[in-house]
Structure 1
Amino acid sequence: MRLALLGCGTVGSEVVRLLHEQAADLTARIGAPLEITGIAVRRLGRDRGDLPVDPGLFTTDALGLVKRDDVDVVVEVVGGIEPARGWLVEALRAGKSVVTANKALLAEDGPALHDAAAEGGGDLYYEASVAGAIPLLRPLRESLHGDRINRVTGIVNGTTNFILSAMDATGAGFAEALEEATELGYAEADPTADVEGFDAAAKAAILASLAFHTRVGAADVHREGITEVTAADVASAKAMGCTIKLLCIAARGADAGGRETVSVRVHPAMIPLSHPLASVGDAFNAVFVEAEAAGPLMFYGRGAGGAPTASAVLGDVVAVSRNRLAGVRSASESAYADLPVRPMGEALTRYHVSLDVADRPGVLAAVAGVFARHDVSIATVRQGPAGGGAAGRGEDADLVIVTHVAPDAALAATVRELRGLDIVRSVASVLRVEGGL
């Protein structure tokens, strides 16, 4: 089986190394040897150390490489939308199989890739696009095909999980935790894609598409990052027996009219320490799947890094190579359900609202009245002196309210009205609560 490798950075180099080190085993598993026929890179003169590969295989002409007749499988680990989209569509339409780790492209234009694969008759595999080495997408795509999945909740970004775990463990603020993550190599020089939730949103779209047999794109995902999470939020979560995680949540459910829909969102949320995801620390990933027949399933492991991602890439290479030798292709995209995506305002969730209020009689009743006007039921209330100091009447007080489940739009409207009350000095923080308390 002849491979064209697009990209030879952190992941691509590990793919080359593993292909070399495990050549005999891979040949036995597939039934034929794997041979790299070309490697497309941006710069030919870059020092690649002792990479076990013939320097003559490198080229800067990626499109020319994927068009070659002596290529059976194209492996793409470059990332980004363009020019990767053009290369992969060309390869798929020509009947080549494609293995990609490109979550951004799949979330942005996955349907175009699936259509091109159907047109050319090749396979499109992308296990490495979500949660690194964790076997996750193929179980959703194949193993659970006989079941009905109702909800997928996951920690799918290692950078943000490291930051939030550090804040929880040390009491540090966001900026300090981000600085530590950068120093240790967990965060990029520009961490925007991670800390603002773009990376997790792309992965959420892929998970929802597979779980609910519906085409879901990045634009369908409600996205919020973790930059506004404070040390005080983390402390408040601890006081409730919770921790804060950046979650991707994809859920199936009925809208107000009874029509079946899906809701897909990414945002920081408090979860109780009893939840399986609460103990996932450091830069690890985990995804919690709730299926009707199988029940709750947990997938856990390293979600990023050269070697873990390369492991997932090679698993896909073995699968598509076996299919080509057998003259078959995998099941095509399953989007038969075609469920509408529910707007975030209709998503059912809970809020944790921290208020700085005037410390005088009638304040709690006034605040409770705002929640009642928007049909939001209050689950718990905790009141104390401003700043958590010693008890005793002062000018201000802290009021922490946790709601029952309500439409997100009603909760958001409640917070907007609270911000306009004279008795509310400030809305210190608003966080969603998931997982039940």
Structure 2
Amino acid sequence: MRKSKIQWRLLPLLLSCIPVFGAAPGELPVAKAVQISEAISLDGRMQEAFWEKIPEQHLRHAVGRRIAPLQDTSFKIAYTSDFLLVGIRCAEQEMDKLSFRAEQRDDAQVCSDDSVEFLLQPGNGFYYQFAVNADGMVYDGRRPDAEGITAAQMRGGLLWDGAWEAMVHRDRDYWSAELRIPFAILDLGIGGADVWRMNLGRTESRLGYSSWAPVEKGFHDLPRYGELQGLQLDRNFYCLDLSQVQMPELCVGSNRLALSIPCKIASGQFQLRHSLRIWQPGLLPERRQVAPLLTVENGQLAVKMDLNISHPEILQECILEVCDMDGRSLGSLTHLFWPPKPLKISLPWSFFLSADRTLPVLCQLQISPNSTPAALQLQLYRKGWTLPTLKKHVLLRKPGASTHILPLRKLPETGEYQLHWKLDFPGANEPSQGTESFFFLK
């Protein structure tokens, strides 16, 4: 699906924030990530004891202004063998004036709300954006970190989704956030440099922007990013390259999924786990294991499974996760999608004459090919009547457009008529149905 990531008129501004590289290393800040082994309850509060042992960083640059930020923002970074953990605290003197208008994930409004953004450049040719507003709504993206990025590359990166989590807490005079970012979503399997770079920014809807790195052209000013040190990570563990793997369009019905994932190792078995749900904010659902085990053939990991989609016209989330035999995640793929309405029916006109002779019914079937044929029932009623004037049953054998003809000569009199339709197909929880109206002059 096409996500409402950004308003495209902002694209030139984003592109301008990726200038030529070259900033004096001595000017750039350094943050240190500290390894932890303690359990964490992700709630945005930063109350676990380990947070006290981690060095604190502050946002000292007001973007576009030569003054210090008016309100303090601090952050700390921890990590485990599986994920990066970022804790952020935003002092706020007027909590009642916080603005958060974004209504769903990847709404561009997140970055205009009172929000924080963690931007990470792990040295693999991409940089990643993780944003959350003061209400816990999230936004993410992945873009090439090379010079001369094109508009098409920017659009493609904005459609990226990651299986990461953010929780927010609001208090009397501050709000805080905890971000949990699995290493498995960072495309580490494609290799790259060992130097990690980063920035952390805050948007205050009333006061402007502040940044940890001394950026000059916005949060995406890569040459001004600081360095993230302290990570002891074995990149070779992440043997999969999911950076170019794309999910197909998913429609209501039974979808047959077939993906090929490049793998660095020549042999071995892997677990496949997945979750599928109507999207909702908060923590991610647990992924369940899918049988059978995956094996490597000719440097590729073949993923084949069926996904049954039941709900049209609502935002849904599918996560695929490949794990080793010990259950550690090697890579994951997240897909947000909005399945279309199974059937669109329209009439070419709203007024017909007896001289027209026929009533063309224009159909657009939008279900999975694996759920065809679909049974379509058409019934024509004179408005106010309880019995149909005309019935027709049609078998739709494949998705796409088709036209079906009803004879107007069988209509008994002048007046308003209603075309009732009902569609049923394999994998549907319940039939889809609707009504179209027109006026007939005998």
Higher RCO (CA 8 Å, separation ≥ 6 residues): 1
TM-based fold match above 0.5: no
| TM-score, scaled to structure 1 | 0.27
| TM-score, scaled to structure 2 | 0.27
Higher helix share: 1
Higher strand share: 2
Larger Rg: 2
